[in-house]
Amino acid sequence: MKSIIDAPCGRLLGTQDNGVMLFRNIPYASAPIGDLRFAPPQVMAAWSGTRYAALAGFVPPQGKSRLAAITGGEVETPQSEDCLTLELTRAAGTGSSRPVLVWIHGGGFVGGSGSHPWYSAAALARRGDVAVVNLNFRQGVLGHLCLPGVSPGNLALLDIVMALRWVRLNIAAFGGDPDCVTVFGQSSGASAIAALLAMPAAEGGQRVSDTRAGKPTGNTIYRPAGQRLRADSCSTIGSLLKSTCCPGRIHPLLQSARTGCKRAGIRADH
């Protein structure tokens, strides 16, 4: 069964099945490509017409999942830098002002996706009569590179902040209560939430319910740069830039990366 929602962001065509409405691949910011690569997320204008929201979108560029042994194998999902999207799952029916849960996935800040099947929120939405939002945000170099003159750092955290703003502006159209938003996460997702608590930009009325196995002072974030960025990391960045069609910037960026790359994790001075 199809479901249509008119929200401030635009009209969405999703699905309804087994007591749950699902809207997938909803952009909450402009695609971070071209001049927006290594830049903070930008507000996306409302679209005209109806956006088809029944299929999963791209996941952020990343390597193979380290959770495959737990989740039952690798899920082949197309990857793209155009990944600033979210999924919204809610119990079917006409009720309004449902509590809203926003899930921040784990993955060591280098992988993962809120749209992977093992993070399905159908059961939670149906049993709890809540609206659940799963986020995608930039990972690895694209989300955490801190390089003066190229990337300010903390882009993944800024992505999450932008997504939370989207929720506050649009969730009422989906039957959610913008004044009752709870953020919860696991592993690096929990670490991200803890970091957000210290960010003035993240202030917006949402509350933190639970952070599972994550903290903003863990080794994932503060391990010395020499241990995190080996000599071949610069070659990895070069391969990334070649694959994302900006060959003119490869050599100056690589030269800067070899001499000035200080960290590739959350910045504590923002």
Q: What is the pLDDT of residues 49-101, one digit of tens each?
A: 999 999 999 999 998 776 666 666 666 689 999 999 999 999 998 778 899 99
Contacts of 227 (CB under 8 A, 6+ apart): none
| pLDDT for residue 118 | 86
- Between CA 145 and CA 37 the distance in angstroms is 11
CB 101 within 8 A of CB 122: no
Domains and CATH numbers, the chain: 2-64+72-207+226-245 (3.40.50.1820)
Q: pLDDT tens digits, residue range 142-160?
A: 999 988 888 888 999 999 9
Q: How much is the average pLDDT of 3-17?
A: 97
Strands 85-91 and 131-135: what pairing? antiparallel
| pLDDT for residue 215 | 54
Structure tokens at 67: 């959770």
Closest listed residue to residue 145, CA positions, set 264, 257, 34: 264
Structure tokens at 184: 């919860």
DSSP labels for 24-58? EEEESS----GGGTTS---PPPPPSSEEE-SS--P
- Between CA 32 and CA 182 the distance in angstroms is 26
- Between CA 20 and CA 124 the distance in angstroms is 10
- Between CA 71 and CA 177 the distance in angstroms is 32
Q: pLDDT tens digits, residue range 166-213?
A: 999 999 999 999 999 999 999 999 999 999 888 877 776 566 555 555
133 or 206, greater pLDDT: 133
Select the highest-mean-pLDDT range: 41-45, 247-251, 266-270: 41-45
| pLDDT for residue 117 | 87
Per-residue CA distances from 194 to 55, 137, 157, 185, 211 (Å): 31, 16, 11, 10, 8
3-state secondary structure of 208: strand
CB 82 within 8 A of CB 33: yes
Select the highest-mean-pLDDT range: 88-92, 115-119, 228-232: 88-92
Contacts of 166 (CB under 8 A, 6+ apart): 9, 28, 29, 86
Binning pLDDT at 50, 70 and 90, where does residue 1 land?
confident
Predicted TM-score (pTM) of this structure:
0.79
